């Protein structure tokens, strides 16, 4: 299983890594973007790679063990949330920071190997936590949250138009027995989605699974919190690349940086988000919902 990073050409174009510059990859994942940047910022440029998922960090170390980058002092790995970017940069005295990459997608490893129920294509426990130490899981939300609260999650985070029907079925089923696995949960969704909506380009369970993942990991609040700190750790002229996969994420990013441009703190480098070219879509269908926005600190 190989993770294919999205929009690599566009990331390198707008991040524009030069020799001896330092970068932060806020969600290092399998290191796809990081390895490309390390090739460009030689010989002395460093990368701080952050990831909340300790399994992901361990997997990246394992995959990289035979590669020179793993033993290279230029790569620093930190198991933490990108929300803490400012504290991490200060604590390890990392800098100057010439660019920050925040890729909000999850990796192939999380979908296919983590066993945490991120995908409805494998029968796994309803977990969905990036951070194994936190207590809230998807299983708790599905089995213990009040009806109205689950419906709100599906409507707001999944923009799911059948939220009400799905939640009514969840409540009905959980009275009989706990909903524990991804397959059980997917079957519940399929029971209430009208047949004509079950065979579109996007699976009928996608929005509900996405909504749960966002709720479990508090993703939208984390994104809102980190944006000011990304600007604060950057040197003047430093570049910011943000790749989002969800309209709500993209909306938060667009509004925040539009406001900061009015304050003359940053300049927006692409007025419209960049999306994958046809060749990339063919090679990596997961890139279809990726949107890249780029900024420079003034």
Residue 51 lies in a domain: yes
User: How do residues 113-137 score in pLDDT, each as one tens digit?
Assistant: 778 888 888 899 999 999 989 999 9
143 and 265, same structural domain?
no
242 with 274, same domain: the answer is: yes
Q: Based on the fold, state whether residues 146 and 200 are members of the same structural domain.
A: yes
Provide the domain limits for residue 174: 115-217
41 preceded by a cis bond (ω within 30 of 0):
no
Query: Last residue of a domain, which of 166, 194, 217?
Result: 217
CATH number for position 41: 3.40.50.150
Name the E strands within the chain.
23-25, 47-51, 75-79, 97-103, 234-244, 266-268, 291-297
List b or e across 207-227, with b for residues whose CB sees 16 or more CB atoms inside 10 angstroms.
bbbbbbbbbbbebbebbeebb
Considering the domain boundaries, does residue 235 fall inside one? yes
In the listed set 217, 252, 267, which residue is the last one of a domain according to the structure? Answer: 217
Residues 147 and 290 in one domain: no
Domain count, the chain: 2
Is position 208 within any domain?
Answer: yes
What CATH code is carried by the domain that includes residue 181? 1.10.150.170
pLDDT digits (tens, 9 = 90+) for 197-207: 777 667 889 99
Any domain includes 3: no
The predicted model gives 151-173 an average pLDDT of 96
Same domain for 119 and 206: yes
Range of lowest pLDDT (67-71, 152-156, 182-186, 214-218): 67-71
Same domain as 105, residue 19 = yes
Whether 20 maps to a domain, the answer reads: yes
Domain C-terminal end among 217, 244, 270? 217
Across the range 18-23, mean pLDDT stands at: 98
Tell me: do 122 and 104 sit in the same domain. Answer: no
Interacting residues of 114 by C-beta distance below 8 A, sequence separation 6+: 53, 55, 56
Query: What was the pLDDT predicted at 63?
Result: 72
Whole-structure pTM value: 0.91
244, 261: one domain: yes
- What's the distance, CA 181 to chain centroid? 23
Indicate if 227 and 97 belong to the same structural domain.
Answer: yes
Residue 51's CB is within 10 A of a number of other CB atoms, namely 26
My answer on whether 134 and 202 are in the same domain is: yes
Q: What is the pLDDT of residues 24-57, one digit of tens each?
A: 999 998 888 999 999 999 999 999 999 998 888 8
Domain-embedded: residue 1: no
> Is residue 2 included in any domain, yes or no?
no
Q: Is the pLDDT of residue 276 over 70?
A: yes
Does 89 map to a domain?
A: yes
Same domain, yes or no, for 182 and 255?
no
| Angle at CA of residue 2, ends 230 and 285, nearest 5° | 75
Residues 225 and 251 both lie in one domain? yes
């Amino acid at each position: 299983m190989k993770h294919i990073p999205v929009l690599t050409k566009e990331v390198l174009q707008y991040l524009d890594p030069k020799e001896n510059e330092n970068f932060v990859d806020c969600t290092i994942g399998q290191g796809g973007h990081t390895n490309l940047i390390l090739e460009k910022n030689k010989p002395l440029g460093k990368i701080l790679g952050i990831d909340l998922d300790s399994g992901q960090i361990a997997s990246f170390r394992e995959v990289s063990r035979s590669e020179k980058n793993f033993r290279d002092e230029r790569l620093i790995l930190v198991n933490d949330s990108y929300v803490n970017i400012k504290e991490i940069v200060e604590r390890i005295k990392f800098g100057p920071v010439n660019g920050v990459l925040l890729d909000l997608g999850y990796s192939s490893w999380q979908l296919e190997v983590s066993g945490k129920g991120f995908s409805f294509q494998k029968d796994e426990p309803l977990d969905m936590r990036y951070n194994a130490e936190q207590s809230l899981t998807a299983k708790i939300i599905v089995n213990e949250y009040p009806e109205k609260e689950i419906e709100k999650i599906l409507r707001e985070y999944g923009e799911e138009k059948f939220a009400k029907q799905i939640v009514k079925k969840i409540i009905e089923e959980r009275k009989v027995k706990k909903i524990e696995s991804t397959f059980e949960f997917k079957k519940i969704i399929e029971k209430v989605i009208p047949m004509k909506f079950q065979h579109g380009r996007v699976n009928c369970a996608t929005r509900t699974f996405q909504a749960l993942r966002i709720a479990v990991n508090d993703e939208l609040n984390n994104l809102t919190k980190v944006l000011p700190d990304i600007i604060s750790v950057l040197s003047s002229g430093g570049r910011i690349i943000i790749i989002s996969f969800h309209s709500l994420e993209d909306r938060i990013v667009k509004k925040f940086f539009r406001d900061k441009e009015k304050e003359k703190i940053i300049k927006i480098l692409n007025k419209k988000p960049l999306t994958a070219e046809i060749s990339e879509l063919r090679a990596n269908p997961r890139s279809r919902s990726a949107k890249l926005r780029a900024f420079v600190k003034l």
